[in-house]
Amino acid sequence: MTDVKQADPPAIEAQGLKVHFQTAAGLVRAVDGVDLTIPKGAFHGIVGESGCGKTTLARAIIGLQHATEGTVQINGRDRADWQKQDRKGFARAVQFIFQDPLGSMSRRQTVGQTLEEPLLIHSIGNASERKQRLAELLDLVALPATVLDRIPRSLSGGQRQRVSIARALALNPSLLICDEPLSALDVSVRAQIVNLFARLQAQLGLTIVIVAHDLAIVREVCSEVTVMYLGRVAEQGVTKPVFADPAHPYTQALLSAVPSPDPRIEAPRPRILLAGDPPSPRNPPPGCRFSTRCPVVEPQCRVTEPQLRPVAHSGQAACHLAAAESHAVI
Partner 1 sequence: MKNWPWLILTPAIIFVLIGLFAPFLMTHDPTVQDYKAILSPASWSHWLGTDYLGRDMYSRIIGGARTSLVAMVFVLLAALVIGVVIGSFAGYVGGRTELVLISIIDIALALPSLIIALALIGVFSGASWSWMSDYWKMIIALTLAWWANYARMSRAVVVAELQQPYIEAARVMGASHMWIFTKHILPHVLGLVVVYASADAGALVLAIATLSFLGLGVAPPTPEWGQMLVDGMSYIEEFPSLVIIPGLALTAVVVSFNLLGEAFALQKVPKAVRGGLLRRKKATRAAEETARAATEAKV
Partner 2 sequence: MNAPVYAVENLVIDLYTPSVSVRAVDGASFHVSPGETLAIVGESGSGKTVMTLGPLGLMPEGVAVDLRGTARADGRDILTLSPSELSALRGGFFGVIFQDPMSALNPMLKIGPQLASQAQKYAGLSAEAARKEAVSLLARSGIPDPEDRYDRYPHELSGGMLQRAMIALALAARPRVLIADEPTTALDATVQAQILALIRTIQKEDGIAVVLITHDIGAVSVLADRVIVLYAGQIAEEGTAIQVLTAPVHPYTRGLLASVPDFRSESATGTKEIPGIPPNQAQLMPGCRFADRCDMVQATCHSHRPRLQTVGLGDVPHRVACPVVIAAEGIVTHD
| Residues that bind partner 2 in the complex, under the rule CB under 8 A | 49-50, 156, 158-159, 186-192, 194-195, 213, 215-217, 219-221, 243, 253-266, 269, 271, 273-278
* Beta bridge pairs of residue 209: 44, 177
88 interacts with, out of partner 2, partner 1, none, CB within 5 to 8 A per kind: partner 1
What percent of the chain is helix, strand and coil (3-state, nearest 5)?
A: 35, 20, 45
Establish if 301 lies at the interface with partner 1 (CB under 8 A): no
CB of 82 to partner 1, least distance (A): 12
Establish if 103 lies at the interface with partner 1 (CB under 8 A): yes
Task: State which residue, 36 or 61, has the beta carbon closest to partner 1.
Answer: 61
Task: State which residue, 236 or 239, has the beta carbon closest to partner 2.
Answer: 239
Task: State which residue, 10 or 118, has the beta carbon closest to partner 1.
Answer: 118
215 interacts with, out of partner 1, partner 2, none, CB within 5 to 8 A per kind: partner 2
How far is the C-alpha of 252 from the C-alpha of 246, rounded, in Å? 6
* Beta bridge pairs of residue 327: none
CB of 309 to partner 2, least distance (A): 24
Contact between residue 168 and residue 90 where contact means Cβ atoms under 8 Å apart: no
Contact with partner 1 (CB under 8 A) among 106, 280, 314, 326: 106
Task: State which residue, 167 or 219, has the beta carbon closest to partner 1.
Answer: 167
**Cα separation values, 1 from 51, 161, 163, 306, Å:** 31, 38, 39, 25
Checking DSSP bridges between strand 316-317 and strand 232-238, what pairing results, if any? antiparallel
- Over the range 55-76, which residues count as b (16 or more CB within 10 Å of their CB) and which as e? bbbbbbbbbebebbebebbbbe
Sign of the C-alpha dihedral computed for residues 214, 219, 221 and 227 taken in this order:
positive
Task: State which residue, 79 or 232, has the beta carbon closest to partner 2.
Answer: 232
Contact with partner 1 (CB under 8 A) among 14, 29, 34, 96: 96
Contact between residue 177 and residue 61 where contact means Cβ atoms under 8 Å apart: yes
CB of 179 to partner 1, least distance (A): 10
Footprint on this chain of partner 1 (rule: CB under 8 A): 62, 64, 87-88, 90-92, 95-96, 98, 100, 103-108, 117-118, 121-122, 153-154, 156, 164, 167, 171
